Amino acid sequence: MYLHELRDGLDAEQIIGTWVDFYNDVRPHSSLGGRTPGEVYRDGAIVS
């Protein structure tokens, strides 16, 4: 079942964009040492 009703492409763009922003800039990732993908990208460093 869907979490959001997508009435048109603009709805899809907004909802998907919001999720991608959250994933990249808010949600910490254990594989990145608790950092977000955005932090790792901006720092130019890869955690190993």
User: Tell me: the pLDDT tens digits for 1-48?
Assistant: 568 888 999 999 999 999 999 999 999 999 999 999 999 999 986 655
Residue pair 48/31 in contact by the 8 Å Cβ criterion? no
Nearest Cα to Cα of residue 28 among 19, 40, 17, 16: 40
Tokens matching residue 17: 């964009």
pTM: 0.71
Q: What is the pLDDT of residue 47?
A: 58
User: Residue 1, CB half-sphere, CA atoms under 13 Å: how many?
Assistant: 0
Residue pair 25/36 in contact by the 8 Å Cβ criterion? yes
